[in-house]
Amino acid sequence: MKQVFSIFFFLFSFFSFSQNLAVLKYKGGGDWYGNPTALPNLIAFCNKNINTKINPKPETVETGSTDIFQYPLLHMTGHGNVFFSETDAENLRNYLMSGGFLHIDDNYGMKPYITKELKKVFPEKELIELPLNHPIFSSVFEFPDGLPKIHEHDGKRPQALGIFVENRLALLFTYESDLGDGWEDPEVHNDPAEVREKALKMGANIVKFAFEN
């Protein structure tokens, strides 16, 4: 028990001083590598606007690797299938319980797969929608109406869904919003500047919240 406490104390200390993030590489055939310009652009925006000092080139880490514990924030995206092995699920659970934060951004079509796999990580928990007064919507920039709509897919409203660990939001699933597309280089999706700005500002809120909570 003492050894477990020491490990968690070390990880908490590491998260407290680290300001980097990584892309989560998962199994199942889904395009975990989607939106290649998204995170570098979000990082540049955060470093310029909210005084972070994040490495401009995000690393890639595999779900089952202990390398995930080097990062207070992991970003996960894609369109298709997701699969977590028992080792992956246990590793991700330990990461989230020890203070890590996972942002899953549905690039379209990810929800049925990730919902199923998250049951391996937290069998006892459900994704629940965040209320509009949750601090993630105001940690830097104000979003009184909640998650912004960046791309239209199925005509559904955007939702910010979360999993809490001891009252701390540890996992955020952004659905029907497509923030990552809004972070990409302008020529990729030809989004208007004001739409990209909303996406980047909401992304900065997520980064700020993850680093400080």
Residue 118 tokens read as 């998250």
Asked if residue 1 has pLDDT above 80, the reply is no
| Residue 92 vs residues 61, 123, 135, 188, 197: alpha-carbon distances, Å | 12, 13, 24, 31, 31
Listed by start position, the domains of the chain span 2-212
pLDDT, residue 12, reads 45
pLDDT, residue 75, reads 98
Could you tell me what percent of the chain has a pLDDT over 70? 92
97: burial class by Cβ within 10 Å (0-12, 13-18, 19+)?
middle
pLDDT, residue 18, reads 64
List the Cα angle 15/17/18 in 5-degree steps: 65
121: left (phi over 0), alpha (psi -120 to 50) or beta: alpha
Q: What is the mean pLDDT of the chain?
A: 91
CA distance 204 to 206: 5
* pLDDT tens for each residue of 98-131: 999 999 999 888 999 999 999 999 999 999 999 9
CATH topology for 2-212 is: Rossmann fold (3.40.50)
Evaluate whether 175 touches 30 at the Cβ level (below 8 Å). Answer: no
Alpha helices (H) along the chain: 2-17, 38-49, 86-97, 111-121, 179-183, 186-189, 193-212
The pLDDT-based confidence of 155 (bands split at 50, 70, 90) is: confident
Pairing of strands 168-175, 101-106: parallel
Mean pLDDT, range 15-33, rounded to an integer:
84
Residue 12 tokens read as 């908490």
Q: How large is the C-alpha radius of gyration of the chain? A: 16
Asked if residue 10 has pLDDT above 60, the reply is no
CA distance 84 to 170: 18
* pLDDT tens for each residue of 33-90: 989 999 999 999 999 999 999 999 999 999 999 999 999 999 999 988 999 999 999 9
Mean pLDDT, range 20-26, rounded to an integer:
96
CA distance 173 to 42: 17
For residue 128, the SS3 value is: strand
The pLDDT-based confidence of 4 (bands split at 50, 70, 90) is: very low
Pairing of strands 21-25, 128-129: unpaired
Could you tell me what percent of the chain has a pLDDT over 90? 81
Mean pLDDT, range 120-147, rounded to an integer:
97
